[in-house]
Structures are given as structure tokens and as C-alpha cells.
Amino acid sequence: MTNTLLNKTMTRLTIVIVIILILCIPIFYYLTTRFYAEDLIDVVHDYRTGQKLDENIDLERDVVLGMLLQYVLIAIVIGTSVILTTRFITKKLWNPFNEILQKIEQFKLGTDDVPKFHKTGVKEFNQLSSSLTNLLERDTRSYKIQKEFTENASHELQTPIAIIRADLDMLLQENLSEKESEIVDNMYSETKRLEHLNKSLLLLAKMENKQYEDKEVFFLSDVIQYLMPNYAKLYSIGISFIQKADVKLDVNRMLVEVLVNNLVVNALRNVEEGTNVKILLDDRRLAVSNHSLSGKLDTDMLFSRFHNPTRNQRGNGLGLAIVRQVCDYYKWSISYDFKDSVHTFTVCMESREESKK
């Protein structure tokens, strides 16, 4: 049998008050017979026996004082009852609610283990448990559908993109006119951008769905040294790597590689000709800077998706958005600074809670 939280609380409060009042009956009796009503009892006794009344007895003062004492005692009883009910009995009554909170905090979207809430004797808690169960089941189903759609869509897009690129490779081997070759080259470049865009969107979706829980311990300098040869192959621009300290991480290595790669590639694509890209690794910080005459970037839109501040045709507008997403994923902070025509992106690889200490 279930009841409302208000009714249960009032019932228990009433029971506690009644019990304490019953326990206080000896005290009330003692105060009545041995304190303020003692003189009144003597007067009644003298009257019945015909003895002379004592003129020094002040019955009015005794009655007023006695009523005041009883009022104070009753107030103490009610106050004690409220405190006991609130502190101990009501606390036990709210235990199911605390259990619900604990299970919700431990729940992780993406797992099949939807929390099971026990039935209680409180109507509101049962309604809350039922609503939360329905909500979590719907969210879990939606998550699975979204995850499957994202993976399937990405996989299905890879196939036609690969076919188009293969056909374009075959066309490039034919004897095409200069204009035709230019058109095919543009199509080939756009398919490469489309493939990169597809991978970037899939990466963002997976991060939002918390699908990169795998961790490993590594040093950030190893990741940078691993990626450096790739930049030398693709870009003729020089890169200077300055390591003042190293950063030991226990996160998903692939996400860190994506973060570093997007920062460096963004700098390489927008660096002024004749200058170098600078990578600085310091204590818990990674800074990537490049010299450019494009002016300060719009900080409000800088990390927005599909925002390409330099109108660079080789980018898809997702590089810095992915960097911000990785930082948010691990609760790192990222900042942008522009000084003396130098753009600098700095990632602080410690949680925001740790940086406040």
C-alpha cells in the first residue's frame, strides 16, 4: 500500500507527538500536584474539613504560573517531536530518494544496464522511479539508434567516395584536354575534402556519444615526434619544436593525435610564406603558433563548426571545432591569443577543477 509523502510525514509526526506526550504524563502530574496546584489542593482540603483558610495563599499567581509552565512544556514537547521526526524518521523516509539519485549518478549512457528502482511505500517516489525508468530506456534506445545510424552512414558514404576517387584516377590517366584535366582535378580535391569531412563528423559524433573510453599512458612529446614526419612530407614549411617539459597523459591516444594534428595543420595552412610554425611543449601546456597577416580571428566563432575564418579552401571548418570537442571531452582548457601578427593556440592539459586549485 502506497501513500503520499506528506501523509506519511504527518502520520509519523503525529505518532511521535502522541508518544512523547504520553511519556510526559508523569511530569505533568508532578507539576500539577507538587507545584502550582499544591496550594489549591490545600484550600479544597481545608474547606472540606471546616478548617480556617490560610490568607497567605496566592491562588491566582499559582494558576497563572502553572499554565505558563505547562505551555512551555507542551512547546518543548512539540519542538522535540518535530526535530526527532525531521532528523531521524523523515531521513529514513527519504532514503529511497537518495538511492535513486545514487543510481542516476552512476548510470552511463551507452550501456545496456538501465537502473532498476525498487518499489517503495511512497507514491511520489514510485512515480519518480517509473518516470526515470521510461526516460532512461527512451534515451538508451535513441542513443543506440543514433550510434548505429552514424556508423552506418559513415561506412556507406566511404564506399561511393572510394568509387568516385577510383573513377577519377582512371580519368586522370586518359588523354584529357587542359580544361578537362582541371575539372577532374577539382573533383578529385572535393572528394578528398568530402572524405575528410565524413571522418571528422563521425569523430565528433563518437566523442559526443562517449565512445572513446579506452585509455593508455604515454608522453605528449612522443605523439608530436610521431606526427612530425607527416608534416614534412605534405608541407614545405618549416616547423620548430621546442620542448621545455613533457606531459604524461592517461587518455585516448588517438584523440590526442587528432588534437595535435588539427592544431598544427591549421597553423601550416594559414602561416605566412617565409615563416615557420612553432610548437611549444611546456608543463601541462601545448602551444602552437604561426605568423600571419590575416589579423585577429573572431573569438566568438573561432571554434564553431563549419566556420572557416581564413576562407581556406583546403579546410572544412571542423578542425578547431574538433580541437574544442577533445578539450571538452577531457575537461581541458584551450585559449587563443593574437599578438604582433602571431596567432597562438594554447591547450592546458589538466582538468578545469585541477587548474582552479
pLDDT of residue 351: 61
**Co-location of 23 and 76 in the same domain:** yes
Q: Is residue 150 a part of any domain in this protein?
A: no
One-character DSSP codes across 198-221: HHHHHHHHHHHTT-----EEEEHH
**Co-location of 14 and 79 in the same domain:** yes
Beta bridge partners of 289: 278, 344
**Co-location of 193 and 229 in the same domain:** no
Q: Is residue 139 a part of any domain in this protein?
A: no
Q: Is residue 124 a part of any domain in this protein?
A: no
Final residue before a domain boundary, out of 190, 208, 226 = 208
**Co-location of 77 and 203 in the same domain:** no
**Co-location of 294 and 324 in the same domain:** yes
**Co-location of 269 and 342 in the same domain:** yes
**Co-location of 247 and 301 in the same domain:** yes
Q: Is residue 132 a part of any domain in this protein?
A: no
Q: Is residue 295 a part of any domain in this protein?
A: yes
pLDDT of residue 348: 92
Find the DSSP H helices in 36-58. Answer: 38-49
Cα separation, 282 vs 22, whole angstroms: 73
Range(s) of the domain holding residue 248: 216-356
**Co-location of 193 and 232 in the same domain:** no
Q: What's the whole-model pTM score?
A: 0.57
Three cell numbers, residue 344: 597562438
pLDDT of residue 302: 78
**Co-location of 351 and 220 in the same domain:** yes
Q: Is residue 137 a part of any domain in this protein?
A: no
**Co-location of 253 and 188 in the same domain:** no
Cα separation, 115 vs 21, whole angstroms: 44
Residue stretches of the chain with pLDDT short of 70: 1-2, 33-63, 110-112, 154-155, 209-210, 306-317, 351-357
Cα separation, 32 vs 67, whole angstroms: 10
The domain total for the chain is 3
pLDDT of residue 35: 65
